[in-house]
Amino acid sequence: MRKNIVAGNWKMNKNLQEGIALAKELNEILVADKPNCDVVICTPFIHLASVTPLVDATVIGVGAENCADKVSGAYTGEVSAEMISSTGAKYVILGHSERRAYYHETFEILKEKVKLALANGLTPIFCIGEVLEEREAGKQNEVVYAQLAGSLYDLSAEDFSKIILAYEPVWAIGTGKTATAEQAQEIHAYIRSTIAEKYGKEVAENTSILYGGSCKPSNAKELFANQDVDGGLIGGAALKVADFKGIIDAFK
Ligand code: 13P
């Protein structure tokens, strides 16, 4: 059966010392009070090699927030999937709406990133989601379908099964405006139905689909209670241990 997962996306926050302190504090709390779901923290690249050995891998997985779309070579400033993997990190967020919007990541670029992540043993947390105008025009299903088909639906069923999806409506990210539990369930069910069409019911049933966008301790339980919502990808609330723990505890 699919896993319930709460993943934190630290984005461009926390210097190295602050990141280490946050990871240590979270680790202590979760070792003492074991979570009922998988917990992942996705940190800036620079933190990975320090944070990975600090946390108990049985309670916290570590991931990056991006990777290069090239194997290696003359790509100044880029960080490859192999480099991420060499730090002990196991996950990588790909296709976040901030990277699509600000760094012009196309479906094709993301397709390459997904392939390289998988080739290096990383689990992609692949983000999809519509902007406000698309939601208002009732185009959200069309948009997420194009994102899935454009970057993932060339994968074999075996490779697709290694992917975690995160539905993050762009209008809910960092805005304090959360999708309602009904809106989340409706589109998660749609996403699962398209996976079933492409890869069959078993693959669809085993795919974890996380919700992201202004998720907090006060709304996590209601969101995660939905049949097709398998946890969350958390931004702001992942930067405070008490808030992140509150969201993790939604599975208790
Ligand atoms: P917030 O939880 O801050 O809205 O961010 C969500 C997000 O973008 C996680 O990837």
Please give the pLDDT value at position 1.
Answer: 83
User: Is the Cβ atom of 215 under 6 angstroms away from ligand 1?
Assistant: yes
- In terms of Cα–Cα distance, which of 72, 159, 87, 99 is closest to 123? 159
Residue 21: C-alpha distances to residues 14, 17, 32, 194 (Å): 10, 6, 17, 41
Please give the pLDDT value at position 243.
Answer: 98
Please give the pLDDT value at position 177.
Answer: 86
Q: Which helix (H) or strand (E) holds 89?
A: none
Q: Whose CA is nearest to atom 7 of ligand 1?
A: 235
| Active-site residue, 104 included | no
What is the SS3 assignment for 32? helix
User: Is the Cβ atom of 8 under 6 angstroms away from ligand 1?
Assistant: no
Q: Which of 105, 130, 134, 168 is catalytic?
A: 168
| Active-site residue, 168 included | yes
Q: What is the pTM of this model?
A: 0.98
Q: Whose CA is nearest to atom 5 of ligand 1?
A: 235
d(CA 100, CA 122): 20
Please give the pLDDT value at position 65.
Answer: 99
Contact 97, 173 (CB under 8 A): yes
Helix, strand, coil percentages, rounded to 5, for the chain: 50, 15, 35
d(CA 26, CA 238): 10
The two three-digit tokens of residue 95, written as one number? 């296709």
User: Is the Cβ atom of 174 under 6 angstroms away from ligand 1?
Assistant: yes
User: Is the Cβ atom of 213 under 6 angstroms away from ligand 1?
Assistant: yes
Contact 58, 88 (CB under 8 A): no
Distance 49 CA to ligand 1 centre (A): 23
Distance 115 CA to ligand 1 centre (A): 24
The two three-digit tokens of residue 26, written as one number? 């979270």
User: Is the Cβ atom of 96 under 6 angstroms away from ligand 1?
Assistant: yes
- One digit per residue, the tens of pLDDT, for the chain of length 252 reads 899 999 999 999 999 999 999 999 999 999 999 999 999 999 999 999 999 999 999 999 999 999 999 999 999 999 999 999 999 999 999 999 999 999 999 999 999 999 999 999 999 999 999 999 999 999 999 999 999 999 999 999 999 999 999 999 999 999 988 899 999 999 999 999 999 999 999 999 999 999 999 999 999 999 999 999 999 999 999 999 999 999 999 999
User: Is the Cβ atom of 214 under 6 angstroms away from ligand 1?
Assistant: yes
Apex 145 CA angle, 182 and 154, nearest 5: 140
User: Is the Cβ atom of 9 under 6 angstroms away from ligand 1?
Assistant: yes
Q: Whose CA is nearest to atom 1 of ligand 1?
A: 235
Phi–psi pair at 55, nearest 5 degrees: -105, 150
Q: Which of 96, 98, 105, 188 is catalytic?
A: 96
Distance 200 CA to ligand 1 centre (A): 30
Please give the pLDDT value at position 176.
Answer: 86
Distance 30 CA to ligand 1 centre (A): 22
Shortest-distance atom of ligand 1 to CA 98:
8
Pairing mode, if any, of strands 38-42 and 61-64? Answer: parallel
Please count the CA atoms within 13 angstroms of the CA of 33 that sit on its side-chain side: 10
Alpha-helical segments (H) within the chain: 16-32, 45-51, 81-86, 97-102, 107-119, 132-136, 140-151, 157-160, 181-199, 201-206, 217-224, 241-248
Shortest-distance atom of ligand 1 to CA 172:
4
d(CA 206, CA 164): 10
